[in-house]
Amino acid sequence: MGTPRTPTILTSPQDAAIAFYRAFEAKDVDAMMLTWAEDEDIVCIHPGGTRLVGYDAVRAGWEQLFAGNTKLSFRLDEIVAIETVGLALQSAVEHVTVGDDPKPRGAAIATNVFMRTPSGWRIVVHHSSPAPAVAVVAPTGPLH
């Protein structure tokens, strides 16, 4: 039997986001679930994955994702954050590196929604989709 963890009070949505990505990189399911609200209405959608609804389904999704040996690291870019009294949203581009290769392997567009709970800020929605390739189009002639 493991030592029970005392949930950390995440005092801001930014603290919750940092804890989320640290748990993700560490592949620590228990730490990951401490960033989530303990609610049956939480939602998680991984790139190319199905919609997971409820605490047990979200936990099972993270357990499956963390089962592999691949180490992932994230660098967030183009962060947009909106915060109200009890709800916050963060949208960002996640640049993902795999293993020890410093070159990003791909990018995803992620939206995280946080809610203020009695235990501090917690995630209630994580939705991540593959970022489309950005095509640079050269102008064909003078613009008037």
Element (H, E) at 32: helix 29-34
Distance CA 1, CA 132 (A): 44
Start-to-end CA span in the chain (Å):
72
pLDDT of residue 43: 98
pLDDT of residue 33: 97
- Domain layout of the chain by residue ranges: 13-130
The number of beta carbons lying within 10 Å of the beta carbon of residue 58 is 22
Q: 80-104 pLDDT, tens per residue?
A: 999 999 999 999 999 998 888 888 8
The number of beta carbons lying within 10 Å of the beta carbon of residue 53 is 14
**104 touches 130 (CB < 8 A):** no
* Higher-pLDDT residue of 79, 8: 79
pLDDT of residue 100: 84
pLDDT of residue 22: 96
Instruction: Annotate 54-73 with DSSP letters as a single string.
Output: SHHHHHHHHHHHHTSS--EE
**92 touches 110 (CB < 8 A):** yes
Q: 100-139 pLDDT, tens per residue?
A: 888 888 899 999 999 999 989 999 999 999 988 764 444 4
Q: 2-18 pLDDT, tens per residue?
A: 445 566 889 999 999 99
Dihedral of the alpha carbons of 61, 43, 56, 74, in degrees to the nearest 10: 40
CATH class of 13-130: alpha beta
